[in-house]
Structures are given as C-alpha cells and as structure tokens.
C-alpha cells in the first residue's frame, strides 16, 4: 500500500525543488531514459548510432510526455483532480512555456527526420500510427477494454528503443526479441510501481484500474523477482544476446524493488523521480561495452 502524501501534489513543488525532481517535473526523465537505452542497445550490439538518431528520440519522447501531461492537467479544478500529481500541476502552471517548447521541438524534429535511415523511419511511422491511435483512445474515450496504459507504455517504449538497432541490423531481430520483451516488462513494472506508490494497491486504492493492472499490482514483488531471474538467465545462457542488456534490465528491476521497500521513508515526488532514475543502469555498464 502506498503512503498518502500529507500535502497535495501541487504543494509538493517549491522554489527549492531538487534537480532530480525538476528532471521529472520538466518531463526530461522519459526522454533521457529512451535516448540512453537506444544508444546502449546499439552499442551492446557493436553499432554506433549517429547522434541525430539519439537527439530525435529525445525530442520525440519529450514532446509526447509533455503533451500527455498537459492533456491530463486540463482536469485541474474538476472533481476528479485528486488523481493528478505534481507533474500535472507543474505543467499546468507553466503551460505556455511547455507549449512553446513542444512547438520548437516539433520544428527541430521535422528538420531531423529526413536525415534518419529510411528503414528506421518506416518502422517508426508504423509505431507512431499505433501510438497516435492509442493516445486518442486514452484521452478521448473511456473504453474499458483498451490495453492497460501501464502495459502499453512498456510495449511502445521497448519497440521505440530497439528500432534503431534492428533497422540497421535486421538479422538481429530474432536474437533481440527476448531482450525487447524483457525491457518492455521492465518499463511496465516501472509504471506499475509508480501507480502503486501514487494511488495505492487493491483493495486499498479507489483509483479505477484495468483488471490486468489490478492483477499485476497485487503481485508486483513476485513479478519483479521473475523479471530479475529471467534477465539473469538470459545473460548467462543466451549466448546470442549481448549480456550487458539483460544485466542492465535485472539491475533496474532490483532497483525498483529497493525503492518499493523504502517507499514509506521517501517523499512522494522524490520517489517518483527515483523510479525513472532506476532505469539508468546502462551507465554502470559503460566500461564493459566494446569500443
């Protein structure tokens, strides 16, 4: 059960907010993780991605997350705003700046896209079409049968992360598929832990959740231990897969478990920021990547 914050989410933001919290509030966390992992996956497979690919990924993910939080923030002042968090209040407070940033990022991304590889662009267009459809579904409808957001984020995030590598090396698609699935599971667990910390777990949570989400929330530690075990096994026994990737996944999953154990002693905004910091474990493996 997550601990309720003694103050409202909007009151968690102060002039003395830490750099870590600002990293989250400015929606820089997800694009940082995405950019780090696309570079890491490519490097672990002895590929050198052009800087433009990493920058384009950063901009695209930042735009998506900033727009998503701005759309959620439109409920501020409504009866249902109890579900909103500090990030939503921050985006609402600085709406004009974020809109200007999104416009600037859009123009920059439009300039960069023609310079990306055609194969990667083709895959991203397919993924983008699916993502736009899902984005509309979650913000414009209340379809109860849609794929849970926590699972969808994991799938989309993992697909976007592995596209630059498989576009350059199509022969790696089969060998990288298990790693992509493991990474998708990690991203979904990240979202599920955040959900649990912010809204509680059934039956203590009054926040509506998909049946699959409720099932996962009630089994977060076993699911995370399972991911750690599968990642470790892949690292040891799958000789086709580059071992740094499953190692980083296992380390990130273990970090989420440790954060979950410390959730009662950690401020809500800090805990949310640390959840994404837990996915920066590729940085620990940089010395083991071949140049």
pLDDT digits (tens, 9 = 90+) for 227-273: 999 999 998 887 888 999 999 999 999 999 999 999 888 888 899 99
Taking the alpha carbons at both ends of the chain, their separation in whole angstroms is 45
pLDDT higher for 146 or 284? 284
48 secondary structure, DSSP code:
-
- Grade residue 179 by pLDDT with cuts at 50, 70 and 90: very high
Per-residue confidence (pLDDT) for residue 284, from 0 to 100? 93
> Residue 16 phi/psi, 5° resolution?
-105, 25
In the numeric block, the tokens 């071992």 are attached to 243
Do the beta carbons of residue 147 and residue 134 sit within 8 Å? yes
Per-residue confidence (pLDDT) for residue 6, from 0 to 100? 43
Do the beta carbons of residue 253 and residue 224 sit within 8 Å? yes
Any idea where the domains of the chain sit in the sequence? 18-288
Average pLDDT for 32-36: 96
Report d(CA 182, CA 165) in Å as an integer.
16
Per-residue confidence (pLDDT) for residue 229, from 0 to 100? 96
Q: Is 167 helix (H, G, I), strand (E, B) or coil?
A: helix
pLDDT digits (tens, 9 = 90+) for 36-53: 999 999 999 999 999 999
- Grade residue 202 by pLDDT with cuts at 50, 70 and 90: low
Alpha helices in 14-50 (DSSP H): 19-25, 29-44
- Grade residue 199 by pLDDT with cuts at 50, 70 and 90: confident
Report d(CA 154, CA 163) in Å as an integer.
14
Q: What is the average pLDDT value for the chain, to the nearest integer?
A: 85
Per-residue confidence (pLDDT) for residue 280, from 0 to 100? 96
Q: Write out the DSSP string of 180-235.
A: HHHHHHHHHHHHHHHHHHHH--TTS--S---HHHHHHHTTHHHHHHHHHHHHHHHH
Do the beta carbons of residue 89 and residue 133 sit within 8 Å? no
Do the beta carbons of residue 238 and residue 178 sit within 8 Å? yes
pLDDT digits (tens, 9 = 90+) for 89-115: 999 999 999 999 999 999 999 999 888
Report d(CA 178, CA 162) in Å as an integer.
11
- Grade residue 130 by pLDDT with cuts at 50, 70 and 90: confident
- Grade residue 221 by pLDDT with cuts at 50, 70 and 90: very high
Report d(CA 158, CA 227) in Å as an integer.
15
pLDDT higher for 43 or 203? 43
Q: How many CB atoms lie within 10 A of CB 211?
A: 9
Task: Examine the pLDDT at 56 and tell me if it is beyond 90.
Answer: yes
């Amino acid at each position: 059960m997550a601990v309720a914050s003694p103050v409202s989410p909007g009151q968690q933001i102060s002039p003395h907010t830490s750099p870590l919290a600002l990293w989250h509030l400015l929606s820089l966390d997800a694009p940082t993780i995405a950019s780090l992992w696309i570079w890491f996956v490519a490097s672990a497979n002895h590929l050198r991605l052009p800087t433009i690919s990493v920058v384009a990924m950063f901009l695209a993910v930042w735009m998506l997350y900033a727009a998503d939080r701005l759309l959620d923030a439109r409920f501020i002042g409504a009866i249902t705003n109890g579900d909103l968090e500090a990030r939503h209040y921050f985006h609402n407070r600085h709406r004009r700046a974020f809109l200007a940033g999104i416009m600037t990022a859009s123009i920059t991304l439009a300039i960069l896209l023609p310079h990306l590889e055609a194969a990667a662009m083709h895959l991203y267009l397919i993924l983008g079409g699916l993502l736009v459809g899902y984005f509309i579904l979650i913000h414009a409808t209340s379809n109860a049968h849609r794929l849970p957001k926590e699972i969808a984020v994991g799938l989309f995030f993992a697909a976007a992360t592995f596209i630059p590598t498989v576009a350059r090396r199509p022969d790696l698609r089969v060998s990288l598929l298990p790693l992509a699935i493991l990474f998708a599971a990690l991203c979904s667990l990240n979202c599920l832990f955040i959900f649990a910390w912010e809204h509680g777990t059934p039956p203590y949570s009054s926040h509506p959740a998909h049946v699959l989400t409720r099932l996962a929330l009630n089994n977060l530690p076993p699911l995370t231990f399972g991911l750690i075990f599968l990642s470790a096994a892949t690292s040891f026994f799958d000789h086709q897969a580059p071992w740094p990737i499953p190692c980083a996944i296992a380390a990130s999953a273990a970090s989420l478990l440790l954060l979950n154990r410390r959730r009662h002693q950690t401020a809500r905004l800090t805990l949310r920021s640390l959840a994404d910091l837990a996915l920066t474990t590729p940085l620990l493996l940089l010395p083991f990547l071949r140049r």
